[in-house]
Amino acid sequence: MADFQLLNCGEQPYVLEGYPQLSLRDDRNDPVAVTVEHGTQGITTGVTTAEEPPERVTLAPGQAASFVMAWRNLVTDAAVPATTAKIVEVEPRPGAPRLWLRLSAPVDLGNTGKLGLGPWRPPVR
Position 50 in a domain: yes
- Rounded to the nearest 10°, the torsion over CA 41, 42, 43, 49 is -20
Number of domains composing the chain: 1
Residue 69 resides in a domain: yes
The backbone torsions φ and ψ at residue 64, rounded to the nearest 5 degrees and listed phi first, read -130, 145
Q: Across-strand partners of 38? A: 117
For 62, the domain range is 2-117
Residue 37 lies in a domain: yes
On whether the CB atoms of residues 40 and 52 are closer than 8 A, the answer is: no
Given a cut of 70, is residue 125 above it in pLDDT? no
The answer to whether residue 61 is domain-embedded is yes
Task: Examine the pLDDT at 16 and tell me if it is beyond 80.
Answer: yes
pLDDT of res. 116: 94
Radius of gyration of the chain (CA): 15
CB neighbours (10 Å) of residue 119? 23
pTM value is 0.88
